[in-house]
Amino acid sequence: MFDFSMLAQGVATLAASPMALLMAVIGVAIGIFIGAMPGLTATMGVAILLPFTFGMDPLPGLLLISGVFFGGVYGGSVTAILLKIPGTPAAAATAMDGYALTEKGQASLALGTATVSSFLGGTGSVLVLIFLAPVLARFALNFSAPESFALAVFGLSIISSISGSSPVKGLIAGMLGLLVATIGLDPMGGFPRFTFGFPDLYEVPFIPVMIGLFAAAEAFKTMEDPARRLGRAAKLGRMVPPWDKLRSVLPTIGRSTGLGVLMGMIPGAGADVAAFVSYNEAKRFSRNPENFGKGELSGVAACESGANACTGGALLTMLTLGIPGDAVTAIMLGALTLQGLQPGPLLFQQHADLVFTLFAGMVFCYVAMLVLGLGLMRIMGNVLKVPPALLTPTILVLCMVGTYALNNSMFDVGVMLVAGVAGYFMQKYGFPASPVVLALIMGPMAEANFRRALSLSNGSLDFLWTRPITVALLALALLTLFLPVLRWLWQMRQGGGGARRSA
């Protein structure tokens, strides 16, 4: 069924084009840098580099863009783990356990695991793309508004598992996020809500809020207590994580890769959703779920493999159907079109040779990412040795520059700083920041798709129980939401009421 000679030919063509290989490595390096910077996203990197590819041959040009895409998704984890500054929304999930590990002095273990997980997740997803693309091609078309709504509800239910020690405070933070998510243009009617006349607020400034909540808040906190960051560089030793640690997270990586590919294929869900869903499932299947949020290695592995597996899934839908699943693949669609390669049903027939060379190049991109990631780790880890008196102002400056660069907007910088102050007080009083980010991702998705589903069915709510995928996802959401409660009740009965906890 699968034509291996095409793939072999693709590998041979790739090996014979040093320019393409070079562009792949350069792309990955740029991507890692962009991903690590708060505010600079893979989308922006791809958009900026796009004009440079116009003059190139298709292969080097497309591999440059793929490299930025892959590197950008991975790069966010580095600063998330070392400094609790998620460079990308997906890395906000990684920060939960990654930064906890750094605080324990295990930064190199967390970074190494993140790198290997990203590599395995990403490569796995490209392999799925290579071997299963025709089989999975039409999966995305089953996803209409009701399914997307159910997925978003499932995503919101994850708040219960990322709330840390206090579910109530997590829920409050999540609700706060949902309230903030209602700011902007009403997704169906286009009516401005809570914008106070500022056109800048027509869309929720999501990334500025995230940068403020995590990075700026952390910087403020360090100003208050300069001793916080000292003495963590101690254990930045071996780069490749030890085999026994790695083996213990392999099942998580496998599961997260599958989830990531699925999330990537679904229109409207991207690396951020994949990271949070993978984290949730890793916790669900874990033998020690109580360890999550306190520095659990499989939490880091789940987020990173899930987020990177998204890349293959998103590319699959884009290449086979010509449907971009997210902003990055939308730009890549433009890049392919400009190169005279119209993505869609005809691409694999008309340009099979180039497609398979491109696939081989994508695997090469991930290998380059693994090597660069592990190689640069020691250098990047040195950031922990920088005295807080220098590091903290630098972080704040980066937050502002990055936020400004997003839209060339000072308004966004203001939003970021307000979110930073809010985040500082949230941290001080024990409210977790990740539920806010999750609610900001999922809230608008849930609202828009619920209302679109109602519109599609002419006002009938039947879609809630007549569509199998919707029903399954909603059931999963209920399970996720109430499992902790059920478990708690079970423990109460077992312990005869003695195990009463404040939560």
Partner 1 sequence: MDRRSFTFSALGAMAAIPLGGRAMAAGYPSRTIEMIVPYSAGGGTDLVARAFADIANETLPKAIGVVNRTGGGGAVGLTGIARARPNGYTIGLGTAEITMLPHMGMASFKATDFTAIAQLNADPSAITVKADAPWQTLEEFVAHAKENPGTVRIGNSGTGAIWHLAAEAFGKDAGATFNHIPFEGAAPAVTSLLGGHIEAVSVSPAEVSNFVAAGELRMLGVMADERVGAFPEVPTFREQGIDLTVGTWRGVLVPNGLPDDALAVLREVAATAGQSEAFKAQLAKMNLNHAYMDADAFQAKIAAQDEFFGELMGELGMAR
Positions that interact with partner 1 (CB under 8 A)? 43-44, 46-48, 50-51, 140-145, 185, 187-190, 192, 199-200, 202-203, 267-268, 321-324, 327, 330-331, 334, 337-338, 340, 342-346, 407-409, 448, 452, 455-456, 458
Q: How many CA atoms lie within 13 A of 173 on its CB side?
A: 28
Task: Give 379-416 as a DSSP string.
Answer: HHHGGGGS-HHHHHHHHHHHHHHHHHHHHT-HHHHHHH
**CB 330, min distance to partner 1, A:** 7
**CB 337, min distance to partner 1, A:** 6
Q: Are 50 and 11 spatial neighbours (Cβ–Cβ below 8 Å)?
A: no
Q: Which residue's CB is nearer to partner 1, number 141 or number 499?
A: 141
What's the rounded Cα separation, in Å, for the pair 88 and 183? Answer: 21
**CB 354, min distance to partner 1, A:** 17
What's the rounded Cα separation, in Å, for the pair 104 and 22? Answer: 38
**CB 64, min distance to partner 1, A:** 14
Q: Provide the sign of the torsion angle of the four alpha carbons 166, 156, 435, 88, taken in this order.
A: positive
Which residues have CB under 8 Å from 476's CB, separation 6+?
Answer: 154, 157
**Identity of the residue numbered 22:** L
What's the rounded Cα separation, in Å, for the pair 40 and 76? Answer: 10
> Which of helix, strand or coil describes residue 184?
strand
**Identity of the residue numbered 35:** G
Q: Which residue's CB is nearer to partner 1, number 131 or number 202?
A: 202
Q: Which residue's CB is nearer to partner 1, number 60 or number 184?
A: 184
Q: Which residue's CB is nearer to partner 1, number 299 or number 325?
A: 325
Q: Which residue's CB is nearer to partner 1, number 147 or number 296?
A: 147
What's the rounded Cα separation, in Å, for the pair 417 and 403? Answer: 10
Q: Which residue's CB is nearer to partner 1, number 50 or number 360?
A: 50
Q: Which candidate, 63, 21, 22, 25, places its Cα nearest to that of 46?
A: 63
Q: Which residue's CB is nearer to partner 1, number 44 or number 476?
A: 44
Q: Which candidate, 4, 119, 104, places its Cα nearest to that of 73?
A: 119
Structural element, H or E, at residue 185: strand 184-185
Q: Which residue's CB is nearer to partner 1, number 107 or number 140?
A: 140
Q: Which residue's CB is nearer to partner 1, number 46 or number 111?
A: 46
Q: Which residue's CB is nearer to partner 1, number 228 or number 452?
A: 452
**CB 48, min distance to partner 1, A:** 7
**CB 40, min distance to partner 1, A:** 12
**CB 253, min distance to partner 1, A:** 30
Q: How many CA atoms lie within 13 A of 450 on its CB side?
A: 13
**CB 170, min distance to partner 1, A:** 28
261-283: b or e for each residue (b if 16 or more CB lie within 10 Å)?
bbbbbbbbbbbbbbbbbbbbbbb
**CB 166, min distance to partner 1, A:** 35
Task: Give 203-241 as a DSSP string.
Answer: S--HHHHHHIIIIIHHHHHHHH-GGGGTT-GGG---SSP
What's the rounded Cα separation, in Å, for the pair 141 and 143? Answer: 5
**CB 198, min distance to partner 1, A:** 9
Q: What is the dihedral of CA 307, 311, 313, 315, to 10 degrees?
A: 160
How buried is residue 490: exposed, middle or buried, by Cβ count under 10 Å (0-12/13-18/19+)?
exposed
What's the rounded Cα separation, in Å, for the pair 434 and 161? Answer: 11
Q: Which residue's CB is nearer to partner 1, number 188 or number 478?
A: 188
Q: Which residue's CB is nearer to partner 1, number 218 or number 447?
A: 447
Q: Are 21 and 62 spatial neighbours (Cβ–Cβ below 8 Å)?
A: no
**CB 212, min distance to partner 1, A:** 17
Q: Which residue's CB is nearer to partner 1, number 167 or number 192?
A: 192
**CB 316, min distance to partner 1, A:** 14
**CB 112, min distance to partner 1, A:** 33
